[in-house]
Structure formats: C-alpha cells, structure tokens
Amino acid sequence: MTLPVTLFSFNINDFGDQFDRALERLPAKEQEAVLRYKLSKDRRLSLGGRLLRRYYFSRALKLDWQSIDFVIQPDGKPALVHPQGIVVDFNISHDGDWVIFGVTEQPGMSIGVDVVAMNHDTYGPINDFISSFNDQLMEEERQLLGSMKDDRHRLTTFYQIWGLKESYIKAIGKGLALDLDQFCILPSPPNGVGSTSTKVRRLGLRTRRADGDDDDQAGNWCIHLDYLDSQSISVVCCGSRKGGSILDKDLVELGGTTMNLGDMYNGQPSIFTRLDPTTLLS
C-alpha cells in the first residue's frame, strides 16, 4: 500500500554521540530553542522533531536546508513559510524516547499525530488513575474502559483513547479550546463510507453538538492506531477541518489497516518510517 501521507519516526537513543553534530545543522535560532530545555532528553526530543521536518521539506519541496523557515499559526500549529505560498499541513509529537512527524500535501487536508509512552507511573491504583480523567471522556469511552476486566488492558486502552483524542485536536488546531469530553473515537461499523469490504476495520469520530446530540463523522476522517514499540502508541488523524469532505480511497484504505481500541502490541512493523541520524544529516 502506498501511503497517502508521509510518516517518519525517530528514536532519540539513536543519536548516540552525534547530538552536537546534529544540532549544528540547525539555524542559530533553532539551536537556541533546543538548548533552552534544561534536560538532555527534552533537548534530544526537540532536536529530533526539528530535524525530521527540515529533512522532509528539503527533499519533498526541494528547499534549501538552511533557508527553510517556520512560523506558529494563531491556532498554535507550526507552518512552513514557503516562498511560493504553498500550504503543506504537518504535525509533530514526542513522548518517551520517540519523535514522530506526519505530513499531508493534499489541498484542504489537515493532519495530527500523537505518540503516547505507556511506561509513565500512575502513582497509585490504575483504576484511580483512569477515573481521574472521567470528566474528559465521553460516556461511551467510560463504558468501554469499565467493561475491561484486566487492569493492564484497561490502562493500555486508556492510553490509546488519549492518543486518539490528542491527534484529532492537533489536526483541527484547536488544542485546549476543545473540551475532550465533546468527542470520541471508537470502532465504527465495518461497511462505512468509502469502503466496499465488510471486513475493513475503522475507527470513527463522533462529536457532540451544542444541542447535546452526536454527529457521526466516521467518513470524514482517516484515523490510524498502531505501535512504535511495545511501550509506545502512535496515532494518525487526517481529514478536513471544515468537515463534510469525504475521504479519498487511499485514506480510506489507510484507515482500514488500523489496530482497534484495546489491541495489544503484536510486534508488527509501524507504518511510520524510522529514520536514523545518518539519514537525517545526509
């Protein structure tokens, strides 16, 4: 399958002793931004994200590495400053040891990506930890989590739900302006919009309107969930911020390859292409 979006990943442990060399490849103002972080790990995560986006745009759009510039949009999403005004939506996420980058060149489409490290301390019983987020979950999500008998399975599913939510709000650029209990992403009927196979799995978005009713937007967003490794979940959410745009067949096909909520790590390769420092700096 040829992916309709470009997805890269980078593990900061791969820097080895090449951090200083990699840092020098950035313009001075970006080097300063990286070094403002106090912790070495945070510096490496920041550097990894900046290298991934510069690597992509220098090759895909044939832009000079050092001349590439970015700005922060009013909605908080970074944007490429292109000399011809070309708009390319991209997104970056980092957690644990991973940085991921996603980009779509389809006009009018937006993308959000999120990586969730599952090895954080819950600081107490798992049920208490999950319950502390109840006001940020829709009823359907609370019911799904409550139906699971195994604590570890429940925690994994919670992290998946959280990553799905984060990827959507990053795709639409609303961040904290959108309450997390106003939408959910759950398994959809397999014969949804754009699919001709009754066996295709999909994750569908449902949003809550001001009148309290729900809107099913499963056909408007491609949502893909999988793992980078046994402790790291990755999510891609791609669609139109304006809504009402039916996905093309490539995005539908990508959405049909997702893992489902609650699926545990099975060792299958991620859809993200893992890059190493040698490749990024070549």
**What pLDDT score was predicted for residue 195?**
43
**What pLDDT score was predicted for residue 15?**
97
Joined together, the tokens standing for residue 173 give: 């650029």
Q: Is the pLDDT of residue 192 over 60?
A: no
Instruction: Mark 48-77 as b/e (b = at least 16 C-beta within 10 Å).
Output: bbbbbbbbbbeeeeebeeeebeeeeeeeeb
**What pLDDT score was predicted for residue 160?**
97
Helix (H/G/I), strand (E/B), else coil: 145: helix
- Determine how many CB atoms are found less than 10 A away from the CB of residue 42: 14
**What pLDDT score was predicted for residue 197?**
40
Contact predicate 272/228, CB 8 Å? yes
Q: Which CATH class is domain 6-280?
A: alpha beta
Alpha helices in 173-273 (DSSP H): 249-255
Q: How far is CA 126 from CA 138, 150, 230, 260, in A?
A: 19, 10, 19, 21
Contact predicate 119/109, CB 8 Å? no
- Determine how many CB atoms are found less than 10 A away from the CB of residue 221: 26
The pLDDT confidence band at residue 189, using thresholds 50, 70 and 90, is: low
User: pLDDT tens digits, residue range 200-218?
Assistant: 457 888 776 555 555 666 5
Q: How far is CA 75 from CA 50, 72, 147, 172, in A?
A: 19, 8, 37, 9
Q: What span, in angstroms and rounded, lies between the C-alpha atoms of 33 and 104?
A: 26
**What pLDDT score was predicted for residue 121?**
82
pTM of the model: 0.91
Joined together, the tokens standing for residue 126 give: 């798992």
Q: Which of 111, 140, 144, 134 is nearest to 238 (CA)?
A: 111
**What pLDDT score was predicted for residue 243?**
63
